Structure formats: C-alpha cells, structure tokens
Structure 1
Amino acid sequence: MTSPTASTGPTAESSEVGRVVIVGAGDLGARIGRLLRSAGRAVDGWKRDPSTLPEGFGRVAADLTRGSELPELPEDTAAVVFCPTAGARSAARYRAVYRDGLRALLERADRLGGRSGRRVRMVLVSSTAVHGGEEGLIDETSPLHPNTPTGEVLAETEQLLRSDDSVESVVLRLAGIYGPGRRRLLDQVLGGGFGAAAELTGTAQASTAGSLGTDPWKISNRIHVDDAAAAAAAMVTASERPSVLLGVDELPVPVGMVHDWLADELGLPRPWPHLIPEGVALDQVLHTGREDPLWSATPAHGRAVNGAALHRFLGGLRHPDFRSGYAPMLEKPAADD
C-alpha cells in the first residue's frame, strides 16, 4: 500500500465544485451531508427510505442489494461518499451491500465519466477492521490483515475501488465510532455487568476477562462521530488529500481505562479497580498513554491505530480523546422550572 501523499488541509477547496451523492445516508452520512451543504455543496442522499433525510437533501430511493436497479448518478456529480451500513454482521450481507453495491455504483460512475470526460471522486468509508489481525502500532502504510469474515469483505471492497481507474479513489478507515446514539461503552458501565462491578452486585461472576468477555487490557481505538463526519467531508472538498486515512482520535488506550474513567465521572465503582497502581491518578496514566500508545510497560495488547495523518489533515480534532467526546453525554439535563 502506498503512503498517503502530503495534503494542504481540508481548507483548500477542490477546484471543481459539484454535487455530492451520499450513498447509504444514515446517521453518519447525514452528518457528512450537512457539513457539505454548509460548505455550499448540493447533496443527494441515497437510502432505502429517503423520507428520513434532512431538509435540503435531494432524496433518492436506493437499495444497494439491488444493484441493477440503482439510479444513474446526476450529470453534475463531482463526488460520491459510500458509507452504507450492512444491517447485519454477516459476510454475506457485507458482500451484498459493500462489495457488490460498490461494484454497481462504480459502473454508474464509469458511465458518467464517459459522458462528462472527468473522473468522479469516490470516498469509501471503510473500517480499521481491515487491520484486525495486526498487533502493535499501525498506520496508513501497514498491510491489510483482516481477521474476521466481515473485515475480509471490507478489504475486498477497498481493493475493488483501488483497481478502478475510472474514479478518483479515497479510503477513510474509521475506528469504533461513538457519540450521540452510540453508547456501547457507556451502557456497559451503567449496566455494571462486568469486572468488579459485577462481583459487587452479584449480577455475574467477575473474571480476568470480565463477564461480558471484556479484556480490560485490550487497546481500544475510537473516533467521535462528529470528527468522523468532518474527516469524510474534508476528503470530498480538499483539492489535495491522501488516498488513505485512518480515522481515530489521539488516545488509543486499554478499554478498561475508558470504563474506569466513565465510572469515576458517573460516581460508580470502577469495574477494574486494580488496573492502575494505588495512589496514581487515572488522568496521569492516560497522559502517559498519549505518549506511549502501546503501553509497553503494561499487559496492554492489541493494535494501536496511529491517526496522526488525519489530525494533520484536519488541523486537529473536535474531540481529541474519549474524555472530550463522552463529557457532553454524561451531562444531566437541566431540571424543569
């Protein structure tokens, strides 16, 4: 895989301003579209039920599993953002939506290019799952090494895009997305069903790996949904951009430390009270983690995704780490007068 090229940053607008088609315009796609509309772009949203799209979007009914029935791209299309959700975590479903859906879309982009004499920019929102079998620090130069059937399909989808010279291919691999409506780690802590919290409440038997199969020392990589949307929008509008970016915040850390921080903020017992030395502040350890994402002096393991290229491209993140991103989600609503 080639290294990403230097970028002048997302503020450098593409010389050709045209329509952007968001294919799979769910929550993330709608956020991307709103950013692009605020930048003056016309935006169409393609999804099975387009009636739920925000005001101002062009609404187009499209089912990626029925590739032959997809509409043609509008003549003024300059870019396509391909960001569907499979709806089920099975290789067959991923193949139908991602790989086969992209193939049908590339056929339409090729026809449009033949008519217009210009290439469409195709931004594929992929996942760091294509690096799932890797250990240690990874970046955009790391080889693809999926270790799940769905990760293999995403790797196939990326290869399909890269092999098509009729489009300008761009790949954004996102780590675990969190934010409004995406509360998995927060709900784990609130549920209290793992680690020491489970032992205290008697809801489950605590173990080293936790009752939810959680390994507190496994490195967790994430990105806030607002930053994920900003990254995709910038890859549409920037005149110069890398061909591949890893979408992750600045602080990959063992997931148990995320759990413990959330518990502290919520006033709940820490699920993993022995994770850090007694008398050491959690924020102090997290600061060390920022400098040493692999936590080489601890049992931490797994892959730590280096998002430095994205951070330079965007000029910084709105939520540099989970503490910034989760803080608004922990705020209690104001009491009624």
Structure 2
Amino acid sequence: MNERDGHSQEHAEAPGAAQAGDAAAEHAEPKGAAEAPIPELVIISGMSGAGRSTAAKCLEDLGWFVVDNLPPALIPTMVDLGARSQGNVARIAVVVDVRGRRFFDNLKESLADLTAKQVTRRVVYLEASDEALVRRFESVRRPHPLQGDGRIVDGIAAERDLLRELRGDADLVIDTSSLNVHELRAKLDAQFAGDDEPELRATVMSFGYKYGLPVDADLVVDCRFLPNPHWVPELRPFTGQNEEVASYVFDQPGAKEFLDRYAELLRLVATGYRREGKRYVTIAVGCTGGKHRSVAMSERLSRRLAADGVETVVVHRDLGRE
C-alpha cells in the first residue's frame, strides 16, 4: 500500500518537474542561440602545386582556424562546431583538393547548405600555368596526385578538368605562376588581414604582352596605343614608377583622358560587382614589356580606385624582366 502511494506520488510529481524543465529550457535556448555567431568561412582550393599549403599557413598566421583536406560534405558540420564555440572560432579556412576527390560531388550540396544558413563564405582558387606546375613537381621530385602511370602533364590536365566548375564559381582567383612565397603571402595578407571586410577589393596588375596575359584577370587594359618610353634613351633604364617616365606617359595625347574615362567606367562596374556580391576584381594593365606605360597607368589607376573607396593592391608582374 505504501509502495503504491509512493509510486503514485512519483508519477504525480514528474509532469510538474518536466514542465518546469521545459520552461527553463525555453528561456535558456533563445539566449544561447543569440550569442552563437556563425563563423566566417574561406574555402581554399585550386591546382596541386599552386600554393594551397602556403595560403593555408598564411591564414593560420592571421588567426584563422585552418583545416587541411577536409571532405566537402563535412564543411557545414565544421561551421556548426565553430558556432558552438561561442565566438572562440570566428574564422575558419578549409583546404579542399583532389586528395578528397571522392567527396567532390558533395561540394555543391555543402555550398548550398551554407548559403541557406547565411554563412559568409568565400572560395579562393589558386592557379598556375602548366609550365610552372611541372617545374615545381620536378623540383621536389614528387608525382602529381592524379598522374597515375602517366606523366605529370596528364595529372595536371585531369585536375584542371575536375576543378573547372569550381574555378568558375570562385570569389578570388590568384595566379601564382610568377609569384614567390612572399609575394603570395603579401596578396593574401592584403585580402584577409583586415578586421573589417570592405565592400570591394581590387588588384591592379601591370604586365607585358610579350610575356602573356595574366590568367586571373577579370578586366584587361591595353596601353600600347601610347608612345613607348623605351625608345627614349634617357628614359629606357627607368620604370613607370619613376616620375619622369610617368610624366612622359601622361603628357601624351589621350593618356589623361583614357585614365579619366576608364576610372569612370570602373565606378559603374564596381557598382555592379557589389550588387552581384562579387568582392574581388583583378584589373590587368598591359603594355609591350610591362615596364613603363602599364606600370605608370597602374599606379595612377590604383589611386583613383582608392579615392572611390575600393581597397586596392598594386602588383607589377613583369617589372625587372629583361
């Protein structure tokens, strides 16, 4: 009799305790949810040998939580775990490459999941020419991950085909063919070191047409319509960074007008890029050798962009070449 009474009392009290627990949970969960910021995410990918490891180390030095070779299907899980850290893991960088090729089919689904969760994510794609990649693999005497029984160039071709769609969807493409480790780190520092994310970042890159077009260029400007300072003996030894060379270039008919109108065009383009969510743009400015006209124009153009509120990095790709 007493046992029954005891059991009855237990069963009678349990619902009340459960209701109290549910009420406490209701009040606790919204508070916790509001205090759990979603981490910022960068996905690093691209060609093997193009500098993914360097990019990962650079972001790690900048305070990012870096995960190498994470299967794409686990990226949303990684972001969820970061959100539970209560702000201790605010920025996550993951390296996705052909070593995880069995999981590449899941990448699109993972990216769609991140978009639905309103996760701020960017895809950085590292590119390099076939010649540069072959040279790098041969220098370390390692096979390409996809070459199998074939040659290094066969592996490179297979990888390009595998990553073609990802490259097209990338937010930032960096061609490392002519960059050393320090130059690549400088580019990444310029893009990711700041605490506040600017609306648009631009890389203005001078180049010489005789050395080929930059493969990562979004826009290409041709300065070969201007007289070449190379044919002025007293200016030939200098570059477009020299004030005398720059003055010579902008004293030519059409030079200042070209700069004014192209800067105006870029304002229109920048507005469209912001509207479409594009955060990075590479503007390639070319002349014959990449030493005089393109360098001078790049320097002036970068100042115009900076004056319009665009964070700008200037790179002179072919400066110093013979």
Structure with the greater relative contact order (CA < 8 A, sep ≥ 6): 1 or 2? 1
TM-score, with length taken from structure 2: 0.38
Q: Which has the higher helix share?
A: 2
